[in-house]
Amino acid sequence: DKDNKEHIRRPMNAFMIFSKRHRAMVHQRHPNQDNRTVSKILGEWWYALGPKEKQKYHDLAFQVKEAHFKAHPDWKWCSRDRKKSAS
Would residue 48 count as lying in a domain? yes
Q: Which domain holds residue 60?
A: 14-71
**pLDDT tens digit sequence for 17-46:** 999 999 999 999 999 999 999 999 999 999
What is the DSSP track for 10-43? Answer: PPP-HHHHHHHHHHHHHHHHSTT--HHHHHHHHH
pLDDT of residue 1 exceeding 50: no
Would residue 83 count as lying in a domain? no
Yes or no: say if 56 and 36 are a contact pair by the CB < 8 Å rule.
Answer: no
Would residue 27 count as lying in a domain? yes
- What is the pLDDT at residue 46? 98
Would residue 3 count as lying in a domain? no
Would residue 79 count as lying in a domain? no
Would residue 62 count as lying in a domain? yes
**pLDDT tens digit sequence for 65-76:** 999 989 998 888
**Length of the chain, in residues:** 87
Would residue 67 count as lying in a domain? yes
pLDDT tier, 77 (very low <50, low <70, confident <90, very high otherwise): confident
CA–CA separation, 23 and 35 (whole Å): 9
Q: How many domains does the chain have?
A: 1
> CA angle 36-41-42, nearest 5°?
95
Integer Rg of the chain from CA: 17
CATH at residue 63: 1.10.30.10
- Please name the amino acid found at residue 37: T
